[in-house]
Amino acid sequence: MPVPTDSLVDSQLSRTPIPIPAIFKEAEHGFSLKKRGRSLCFTAPPRPPAKSPTPISRFFPNKHQSWSQPRPQSVSFRSPEKKSLYSRLYDEGKQELFFDQCFQKICKLGRGSFGEVYKVKSQEDGNLYAVKRSLQQFRGELDRQRKLEEVQKHERVGKHPNCVQFVRAWEERRHLYIQIELCETNLQHFCEERGPLHERQVWAFFCDLLRGLKHLHDRNLVHMDIKPANIFICSRETCKLGDFGLMLELDRGNLSEAQEGDPRYMAPELLNGEYTKAADIFSLGMTILEIACNMDLPKGGEGWQQLRHGYLPLEFTADLSPELLNILTAMLEPDHKKRATVNGLLASPVMRKVETWRGLLLTAKAGIHKVVLVCQFMLSFFCVLWNYMRNPLRWILGHSDRTSRPSSPVPTPPGDCSISSDLEDDSLSEDVFELPGISGSASLLRCSLTYPGEMDGQDYIINNNNPQSPDINKRPSMGSTSTPRNISPEFASAGRRRSILRSSPNMSRISQESPCSQRSTGSSTRSSSRLLDADFQEHGQHSSFEPRNLLSMFEDNAGNKD
Ligand SMILES: Nc1ncnc2c1ncn2[C@@H]1O[C@H](COP(=O)(O)OP(=O)(O)OP(=O)(O)O)[C@@H](O)[C@H]1O
Ligand SMILES: [Mg+2]
Ligand SMILES: [Mg+2]
């Protein structure tokens, strides 16, 4: 690795090296380019569980604690009194979770150290959201308080176009659920899909992120975990800061609880316990360096030290414009007191220019989007009108024929077979899919059950590898994006095993890691899938169960027609 001969940099590098935490021992020693499409699940093991001792409540469970009761409860720090969760769709008499009753689970979007995030459709308003569900149950009151703090932090952030929007949160059966605005992808996935970004795109994202960061810093909030996996891209490629789980509230004096984020993006002064807004500037600088240079940031070793001594590797930064290089140098200044501030960066002439054209571009995109919507509406309206005018009699007869049929549930389009509203389905799928050769038939059976009436003369073939299937299937990885720690050999081998499973033709579609695992259907088929579950349990063997049910279903169908 060539180190610049510049005497200034040399003198900086010859200073006593910054102590590296023990977890970086195995980290790489130099800089390298990003490998395209590399799966995240091998590099990002989840964080170890909280360090607190085993809670007494484990041994003497306190039945009177309101949060350990089965009823869902709203979580909000704006109104301290406990409120039971209200929804016109929620029926307390049912065993199903509030989440299952009020949302249609579409697929898993990702996983971090705290929770799993699902793409869902709200049954109440029909909109799509992301719901983050804590991975583990509360282990006691302290653990619960710690988890609930993320809600408090979200509420403190408030509304801003460059921060992921919080909707509401609730707890049920010792799990926390946080409903947030749905984003299209995160910056890490975006860069993996698109490869090196054009500098113009980098400036645009940079501008958005600085605005989001200004919103936080103006409120004395420090994000503490800025990295591509915690940056989200929403409609029309707007960048937003998200995952406020490690956020510090400087005016609340909660610095004793501060945790460092990902070591690759971590500011050097954090090792000395200096928690300031400057740490966010450093992490954002690292993020921009990574996406602008397509660089694989080191987790430790010599490369990690060099970046924290103000040395930017020439072989990566050579193509950057002098403006971007200057800004990055100011953001990655080793001394946090001399580092650039968010206001200083936004006030720089180059950033003001970027802000102006970014504003114009977003307005133009929004305008074009509206025009396209109007055109689409007009087109479909004229198509209907044309059909009607061509043959009004057939149209009326056809229409009345269709409406006179006995009412049957609206068939879900094939792509929607992935929609599930049952969290418990995860375990069922795992069992089912351990049996080779059963997956395709099982999905066919489940999707067949979506059409209890006649099939409208169409063949609904569920193609597991269909590129037209829900968009989430195209995600390169849905693995954990949590802060990397040492990868144990067992973890690495487990990861390899998973990848082998995923590449096997029988397992490809239904792996637990699959972004949009195409499991059971929506609410209309929930009872059917329950029947299936019962049948699986009763017969133990899936292969014996399946043909019998398929046949009986066709017989029933034929009988009904007779
Ligand atoms: N609003 C969202 N829209 C789309 N995808 C999301 C959203 N929120 C989270 N995700 C996906 O889920 C992943 C994990 O989410 P998040 O980072 O919030 O979890 P976490 O458990 O707090 O992670 P960490 O270990 O970084 O603290 C993200 O990297 C992203 O891929
Ligand atoms: Mg995260
Ligand atoms: Mg988090």
Contact between 518 and 509 (Cβ < 8 Å)? yes
The rounded distance, in Å, linking the Cα atoms of 435 and 485 is 33
Number of Cα atoms under 13 Å in the Cβ half of residue 213: 30
Distance (Å) from CA 258 to ligand 3 centroid: 13
Q: What is the mean pLDDT of residues 387-402?
A: 68
| Nearest-angstrom CA–CA distance, 244 and 230 | 9
Q: What is the mean pLDDT of the chain?
A: 72
Phi, psi angle pair for 348, to nearest 5°:
-65, 145
| Mean pLDDT along residues 340-351 | 97
Ligand 1 pocket check for 179: Cβ under 6 Å: no
DSSP character string of 20-36: --GGGTT--SS-EEPPT
With contact defined as beta carbons under 8 Å apart, do 471 and 461 qualify? no
Establish whether residue 528 lines the binding site of ligand 1, counting it when its CB lies within 6 angstroms of any ligand atom: no
Please tell me the distance between residue 229's alpha carbon and the centre of ligand 2 in angstroms: 6
Site to probe by mutation for ligand 1, drawn from 127, 481, 485 as the one with most ligand atoms within 8 Å of Cβ, is 481
Pocket flag, ligand 1, residue 45 (CB < 6 Å): no
- Whether ligand 1 lies within 6 angstroms of the CB of 65 is answered as no
End-to-end Cα, the chain, rounded Å = 79
CA distance 235 to 242: 15
Q: Which ligand is nearest to the CA of 233?
A: 1
226 within 8 A of 261, measured Cβ to Cβ: yes
CA 213 to chain centre: 20
Q: Which ligand is nearest to the CA of 472?
A: 1
Mean pLDDT, rounded, for 14-33: 57
> pLDDT tens digits, residue range 41-76?
344 445 555 555 555 545 555 545 666 666 888 898
Return d(Cα 385, Cα 395) in angstroms, integer. 11
Return the pLDDT at 461: 31
Question: How many Cβ atoms from other residues are within 10 Å of residue 538's Cβ?
Answer: 8
The residues facing 459 across adjacent strands are none
On whether 132 is known to bind a ligand per the annotation, the reply is yes
At residue 88, the pLDDT reads 80
Give the residue with greater pLDDT, 294 vs 455.
294
DSSP label at residue 348:
S
Per the model's pLDDT, the better-predicted residue between 493 and 217 turns out to be 217
Ligand 1 contact, 183 CB (< 6 A): yes
The pLDDT assigned to 30 comes to 65
Atom of ligand 1 nearest to the CA of 164: 1
148 near 85, Cβ under 8 Å? no
Distance of CA 562 to the CA centre of its chain: 49
Q: What percent of the chain has pLDDT over 90?
A: 44
Instruction: Identify the residue with better confidence: 30 or 120.
Output: 120
Residue 247 near residue 222, CB atoms below 8 Å: yes
User: In this predicted structure, what is the pLDDT of residue 524?
Assistant: 38
According to DSSP, the residues that pair with 166 across neighbouring strands are: 180
The whole-number average pLDDT for the span 413-427 is 39
pLDDT, position 253? 76
Residue 29 confidence (pLDDT): 52
Residue 166 has pLDDT above 50, yes or no: yes
Distance CA 55, CA 560 (A): 58
Q: What pTM was computed for the model? A: 0.65
Please say if the pLDDT value at position 90 is more than 70. yes
* pLDDT for the residue numbered 196: 83
The full DSSP string for 277-314 is: THHHHHHHHHHHHHHHHTEE--SSHHHHHHHTTTPPPH
Ligand 1 lined by 114 (C-beta under 6 Å): yes
Q: How far is the centre of ligand 1, averaged over its atoms, from the C-alpha of 115 (Å)? A: 8
pLDDT on residue 521 = 37
Is 225 one of the catalytic residues? yes
Query: What 8-state DSSP symbol labels residue 436?
Result: T
Which residue from 109, 121, 244 has its CB within 8 A of the most atoms of ligand 1, so it is best to mutate?
109
Q: Where are the alpha helices (DSSP H) in 439-541?
A: 439-448, 489-503, 526-539
Q: Which of 24-28, 36-40, 353-357, 450-454 has the lowest mean pLDDT?
A: 450-454
Average pLDDT over residues 368-386: 89
Q: Is the CB of 245 under 6 A from ligand 1?
A: yes
- Tokens representing 178 are 């946080």
- Report the residue count for the chain: 562
Of the spans 521-525, 535-539, 556-560, which averages the highest pLDDT? 556-560
pLDDT score, position 128: 97
CB 137 within 8 A of CB 174: yes
Q: Is the CB of 231 under 6 A from ligand 1?
A: no
Name the residue at shortest CA distance from atom 20 of ligand 1.
112
Which position has the higher pLDDT, 345 or 512? 345
**Rounded-to-integer distance, Cα 293 and Cα 202, Å:** 10
- SS3 track for 502-524: HHCCCCCCCCCCCCCCCCCCCHH
Residue 164 has pLDDT above 60, yes or no: yes
Which residue intervals of 171-198 are DSSP H helices?
A: 187-194
Q: Which amino acid type is present at position 27?
A: A
State the catalytic residue, choosing from 100, 143, 225, 296. 225
Pick the most confident of 22-26, 301-305, 357-361, 492-496.
301-305
Q: What is the SS3 string spanning 85-102?
A: CCCCCCCCCCCCCHHHHH
Q: Which atom of ligand 1 is nearest to the CA of 183?
A: 3
* Strand (E) or helix (H) holding 317: helix 314-317
Determine the residue of 186, 283, 287 to mutate for testing ligand 1's pocket, defined as the one with the most ligand atoms within 8 A of the Cβ atom.
186
What is the pLDDT averaged over residues 211-220?
97
- Looking at residue 122, its pLDDT comes to 95
Torsion of CA 533, 538, 539, 542, to 10 degrees: 10
CA 373 – CA 383 distance, rounded (Å):
15
Q: What is the DSSP letter of 438?
A: -
* Burial of residue 201, with CB atoms counted within 10 A of its CB: 0-12 exposed, 13-18 middle, 19 or more buried: middle
Q: Which atom of ligand 1 is closest in space to residue 184's alpha carbon?
A: 4
Nearest residue (by CA) to ligand 1, atom 23, is 112
Tell me the two tokens of residue 502: 């995923």
Closest CA to 153 of 259, 258, 246, 230: 246
Task: Give the Å distance between the CA of 281 and the centre of ligand 2.
Answer: 18
Using pLDDT thresholds of 50, 70 and 90, give the confidence band for residue 117.
very high
Cα 406 to middle of ligand 2, angstroms: 49
**How many angstroms does the Cα of residue 441 sit away from the middle of ligand 1?**
33
**Strand spans (E) along 126-218:** 128-134, 166-172, 175-181, 185-186
Alpha carbon of 75 to ligand 3 centroid (Å)? 18
Beta strands in 51-114 (DSSP E): 73-74, 83-84, 103-111
Q: Read off the pLDDT of residues 174-208 as tens digits, 9 standing for 90 and up.
A: 999 999 999 999 999 999 998 889 999 999 999 99
Helix, strand, or coil (residue 402): helix
Q: Is the CB of 230 under 6 A from ligand 1?
A: yes
- Give the span between the Cα atoms of 79 and 135, in whole angstroms: 26
